[in-house]
Each structure stands twice: as structure tokens, then as C-alpha cells.
A and B are shown apart, each in its own frame.
Chain A
Amino acid sequence: MSAQEKRSLLNLVFSILFTVVYGIIVYIKYNNGDFDTSNEMRLWSVIILIFIPISIAARIVATIMFSIINSIANEIKGKDDEDLDFYDERDKLIELKSTRVALVVFSLGFILALSTQAFGMSVAAFFLTMLGFGLLSEVIASIYIIIIYRKGA
């Protein structure tokens, strides 16, 4: 498996794992009554505003740890060290294509999220749709990248 495929796989696993763990923590806290539920809009905004910086920080830590583990594994196997942060023109092109795919999926999610409000559904439905499609767009983009690298295109 190439460094690029490993990077995409790490991104895929991390996105799913982190969102699920964060979702479980929020769900437990919600059930314990740790949140002020009088203003649902404010509650969901706070949940998402906390999610964004924690997600970025956790992603940086995960990438650093994975790079260290990958270097150690390559050292043990006696392989040439592959730089996970190395980007060339083809990587940038593939990333651009995957970003386009992610954007289409997320835009679809945004339209669906707006539809939930148009049909009078709860604020929770709006934010859950947004979060769900945010995760889905990342998953699809990562899978798309892995498929392109596997095909060798």
C-alpha cells in the first residue's frame, strides 16, 4: 500500500471513529442532563463549534502518531521511508477531484437539511443531517481517493 493510500485510509478511519466517539459522548452527556436544553438552536451550535477545533486537533495528533508508527514499521521491514506528507502534482489533482465529490455530497446534505426545516422538523434534524452528510462526504472522498490510487490513474 502506497503512502497516499495509507494517508486516505487514515483519514477515512479517523473521520468515522472520531465522529462516532464524539456522538456517543454528546449522547451520554445529553441523557445525563449536562446540557441546557431550553434553547435547542444554541445547544446544537455549541456542540458543533466544540466539535470543529477538537476534530482538527485530534486529526493532527493522529497524523503525527501514524507517521511515527509508519516510520518505525518501515525501519523494521527495512523499506525505504515513504513520506506521508509528500504531495506531488498528481496527488494535488486527485485531491481536487475528491474535494469536488465531497462538495457535491455535502451540498446535497445541506439542501436536505434545509428541507427538514421547510417541512417543520426539529432543529436537531437539521444539525444531524448536516453532521451526517459532513461525515458521509469525507468518507466518500476518502474512498474515491483510494479507488483512484488503486486503479493507478
Chain B
Amino acid sequence: MEKFIINNNVRMMRFHNGEMTQKDLADAVGVSRQTIVAIEKGKYSPSLELCFKLSIVFNKSIDEIFSIEYKK
């Protein structure tokens, strides 16, 4: 299988949800603010459970929040 990286639109989703702060999002999904920072920077890939929680908070499907990009 080709190698890929996981991108996300969490920062943009927060913006479209009334400029939700990282702390507000962290509280909503039950993680620390540092975890949200790491996800937004693409340095941490969340568990499937956290992905679902994010999709519920943003009212979007998981593939609208996360996408993969194949490495060339």
C-alpha cells in the first residue's frame, strides 16, 4: 500500500462553528486542549472514538473532517 498522511479540517470546522475555541472543543469531546492542538498540527492521529465525537460536535461526517493524502 502507498504511504499516506492524514490531513484534517478541525481548525476550519472550529471557525465555521462560531469561532469555537480549542478549549471549548476539547471540553466538548473530553480531551485536553493540547490534544486538539496536536490534532490540528497533524502531529497526532485521534482514535476512531474521538473522530466520531468530533463529527458529532461539528455535525459533519468523518471524511469531511479527515482526509488522506498520498505521498509521492
Please tell me the size bucket of the interface on B: 10 to 19
Interface residue B60 (Cβ < 8 Å from any Cβ of A): no
The docked-state distance in angstroms from the alpha carbon of A91 to that of B33 is: 12
Total contacts A-B at CB 8 Å: 37
User: Does chain B have a CB within 8 A of A46?
Assistant: no
* Nearest-CB residue, chain A, relative to B47: A89
Interface centre among A80, A89, A149 (most CB of B within 10 A): A89
Cross-interface CB contact of A152 among B30, B37, B50, cutoff 8 Å? B37
Name A's B-contacting residues (CB within 8 A): 2-4, 80, 86, 88-91, 149, 151-153
Extra 16 A-B pairs, beta carbons < 8 Å, given A89-B47, A90-B35, A151-B43? A2-B32, A2-B33, A3-B32, A86-B32, A88-B30, A89-B35, A89-B50, A90-B44, A91-B35, A152-B34, A152-B37, A152-B38, A152-B41, A152-B43, A153-B38, A153-B43
